[in-house]
Structure 1
Amino acid sequence: MTPLDAHTLEGSAVTTPAAPRPRPRGALPGDPTPRQRLARICRVDHAGEYGAKRIYEGQIAVMGKGRHGDTLRHMAQQELEHLRYFEGQLARRHVRPTALQPFWHVAGFLLGAGTALLGERAAMACTVAVEEVIDGHYEAQLKHLGPEEAELRDSIVRFQAEEVEHRDIGLANGAEQAPGYGLLRAAIKAGTRAAIWVAERV
């Protein structure tokens, strides 16, 4: 090293690259960061509640004047409350909604109206299938929410209980007696799980 080199080193601050932040315990390469996970939670839950609102709107369009009209409107009102909560979460956390919301707008209504056209029990089977998936989905989310997200966690716990109430309403109103119940339930659950996966990421 020349004297000039030594003088340069002595007179300048030597910086070292910042050490990479450690991954959370148990995390794998490609796993979302805690911030990304929260964004996904808010995005997918907003999308899910929007889709649920449209399903009930489709069912009400067909069955709203029948004996289940008030029950459907009760469940739709709860889904609207959930939706408004997650709209607020997206705005507060600066998270964009899913880019596929126009698709959910159409698909949700068609699912609701289509199952209602198959009959009251098929409509209730749709409710059971969707709410069973959402119950499990919310339960999985709760495992990732610590005390720093107590308000979000408490809201999800309340919403989960209301979704389970909807499932029970469907079961109490003959969902399992719908023609082809097993196949219909399996198809709707598969579609709901696929919608959740896409909405988290797109």
Structure 2
Amino acid sequence: MRRYTFFDRLIGEADKVLRTLAHDAVSASRASPAEHLPEAGLSAEEQRQISGFMRINHTGEVCAQALYHGQALTARLPTVRQEMEHAAQEEVDHLAWCQQRLNELGASPSVLNPVFYAASFSIGALAGLAGDKWSLGFVAETERQVCEHLQGHLTRLPLNDLRTRAVLAQMHEDEAAHRDMALKAGAATLPEPIQKAMQAMSTVMTGTTYYV
């Protein structure tokens, strides 16, 4: 079996970047939870609001891909690297599902995705360099915040929008599982200032990508 060098892995990461940011370039390994559900009769205002939610969620998945890719690149323990790569694959499903829902709504992903990808990749790589327990701590805290964010969207969706609801509910379940994985693997609790900084970055992301 070939042993990949650090530079081999960098080339692989560049490929992942292009696939993550290119429109409709990723394919889900699982069928969308909304596959067999009917489309709701949405008003123009409801469609605009849901498009904003899904644009936020799509960018969130771009950030998740970047975070996991950065962490996997610098993780020290092979088992931790494998866990990161497995979680990243599930996030690919989420990314594809969000893109599909945006397409159905006639909406586009955020033009700011490359900026947020770069920021998240840098954070992930630095967390990996800090040590696996801190890298896992970033995963646990990120997924905790993502679950809160998804729950907020679920409570604000129109009751008849079963397709979006099914996608977000499955994403919530997967993200909670990723958080549990990180905690069981030995995640450290991040200092409160870092948690607040992550929340501030999330606020910037959601406030901008809802519109663009």
Q: TM-score range by the shorter chain?
A: 0.7 to 0.9
Query: What is the CA distance between 1:64 and its match in structure 2?
Result: 7.1
Equivalent in 107, 116, 128 of residue 128 of structure 2: 116
For 1:51, the equivalent position in structure 2 comes to 63
For 1:182, the equivalent position in structure 2 comes to 192
Contact conserved, 2:75 with 2:131, CA < 8 A, in 1? no
Query: What is the CA distance between 1:33 and its match in structure 2?
Result: 3.0
What fraction of aligned residue pairs are identical, expressed as a percent?
A: 23
Instruction: Give unmatched runs, 5+ long, in structure 1.
Output: 1-31
Q: CA RMSD in A?
A: 1.9
Contact conserved, 2:71 with 2:84, CA < 8 A, in 1? yes
Taking the TM superposition and a 5 Å limit, the aligned residue runs for 1:10-25 are none
Contact conserved, 1:43 with 1:98, CA < 8 A, in 2? yes
The amino acid that maps onto 2:47 is: R
Taking the TM superposition and a 5 Å limit, the aligned residue runs for 1:92-171 are 92-171=104-183
32-41 or 114-123: bigger deviation: 32-41
Q: Spell out structure 1 runs of 4+ moving beyond 4 A.
A: none
For 1:192, the equivalent position in structure 2 comes to 202
Larger Rg belongs to: 1
Equivalent in 165, 180, 184 of residue 172 of structure 1: 184
Query: What is the CA distance between 1:107 and its match in structure 2?
Result: 1.2
Greater RCO (Cα-Cα under 8 Å, separation 6 or more): 2
Contact conserved, 2:66 with 2:117, CA < 8 A, in 1? yes
- When the two structures are superposed, what TM-score results if normalisation uses the length of structure 1? 0.77
Tell me how far apart the structure 1 counterparts of residues 76 and 94 of structure 2 sit (CA, whole Å): 21
- 1:79 lines up with 2:87 in the alignment: no
Taking the TM superposition and a 5 Å limit, the aligned residue runs for 1:31-46 are 33-46=45-58
Contact conserved, 2:46 with 2:158, CA < 8 A, in 1? no
Tell me how far apart the structure 2 counterparts of residues 189 and 172 of structure 1 sit (CA, whole Å): 23
Instruction: Give unmatched runs, 5+ long, in structure 2.
Output: 1-43
- When the two structures are superposed, what TM-score results if normalisation uses the length of structure 2? 0.73
Relative to structure 1, the CA distance from residue 170 to residue 189 in structure 2 (aligned partners, 3 Å threshold; closer, same or farther) is: farther
Contact conserved, 1:125 with 1:181, CA < 8 A, in 2? no
* Cα deviation 1:114-160 (Å, max 9, x = unaligned): 11111111111111221111111111111122343112201211110
Query: What is the CA distance between 1:35 and its match in structure 2?
Result: 2.1
Contact conserved, 2:147 with 2:175, CA < 8 A, in 1? yes
Aligned residue pairs total 169
